[in-house]
């Protein structure tokens, strides 16, 4: 086994490996590599958002909108569309997958005192916040107001025997608000 040095990393099992070279091939990091981060938080009672734990995935559904074609019956148009009329917007749902932690289950992380028996136990909505980082800098901050859980499930533990449960929740929200 090589001698441990500042250029080597060692895990708790004693396995070593070389550090990644973040300086890049020619002394710079290629601009095709991007570093980003995401923090999902819920509005706390004190007005300060709190991170909701180990989020595995966050997906906002596609924003959609109905478009109606206005047609005209005339000698020139002959029933062809002559105008597009925008209609209602849809897609105000998002899904979060999160590793469940003892005494910090999804519902408790959202600010409820206990785990739900069913979704009727959700008696007030929550505000969710999406923090997007570029490196260490906050790039964008969105608020998803008045979120209600429309489905909540607890997945099966993995076959590796580590006892990890992943909860999945779908939320419906009012139009998001850009804070930054």
Supply the CATH number for residue 37's domain. Answer: 2.30.110
| Cα–Cα dist 177/44, whole Å | 17
Does residue 158 form part of some domain? yes
pLDDT attached to residue 150: 93
In a domain, 2, yes or no: no
Is residue 171 in a domain? yes
Residue 119 phi, psi (nearest 5): -70, -10
Q: How far apart are CA 161 and CA 144, in angstroms?
A: 36
**Residue 70 within a domain:** no
- Helices (H), ranges, the chain: 106-109
Q: Which residue has the higher pLDDT, 62 or 12?
A: 62
For residues 53 and 99, is the Cβ–Cβ distance under 8 A?
A: yes
What pTM value is reported for the model? 0.66
Residue 106, classified by CB atoms within 10 Å of its CB into exposed (0-12), middle (13-18) or buried (19+), is buried
Range in 22-31, 81-90, 113-122, 153-162 the model is least confident about? 22-31
Number of structural domains in the chain:
1
Q: What confidence tier does 6 reach under pLDDT thresholds 50, 70, 90? A: low
Structural domain harbouring 126: 33-59+91-178
* DSSP state at residue 118: S
Gap between the Cα atoms of 148 and 167, Å rounded: 16
CB 39 within 8 A of CB 49: no
**Residues 16 and 8 sit within 8 Å (Cβ to Cβ):** yes
Of 21-30, 76-85, 133-142, which range is least confident?
21-30
| Higher-scoring residue by pLDDT: 65, 49 | 65
Residue 154 lies in a domain: yes
């Amino acid at each position: 086994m090589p001698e441990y040095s500042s250029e080597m990393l060692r895990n708790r099992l004693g396995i070593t490996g070389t550090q990644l070279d973040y300086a890049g091939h020619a002394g710079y990091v290629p601009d095709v590599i991007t570093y980003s981060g995401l923090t999902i938080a819920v509005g706390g009672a004190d007005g300060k958002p709190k991170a909701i734990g180990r989020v595995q995935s966050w997906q906002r559904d596609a924003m959609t909108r109905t478009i109606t074609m206005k047609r005209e019956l005339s000698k020139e148009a002959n029933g062809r569309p002559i105008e597009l009329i925008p209609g209602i917007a849809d897609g105000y749902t998002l899904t979060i997958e999160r590793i469940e932690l003892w005494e910090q289950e999804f519902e408790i992380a959202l600010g409820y005192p206990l785990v739900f028996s069913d979704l009727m136990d959700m008696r007030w909505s929550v505000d969710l916040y999406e923090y997007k980082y570029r490196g260490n800098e906050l790039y964008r901050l969105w608020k998803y107001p008045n979120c209600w859980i429309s489905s909540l499930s607890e997945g099966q533990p993995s076959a590796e025997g580590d006892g990890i449960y992943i909860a999945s929740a779908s939320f419906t929200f009012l139009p998001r608000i850009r804070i930054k």
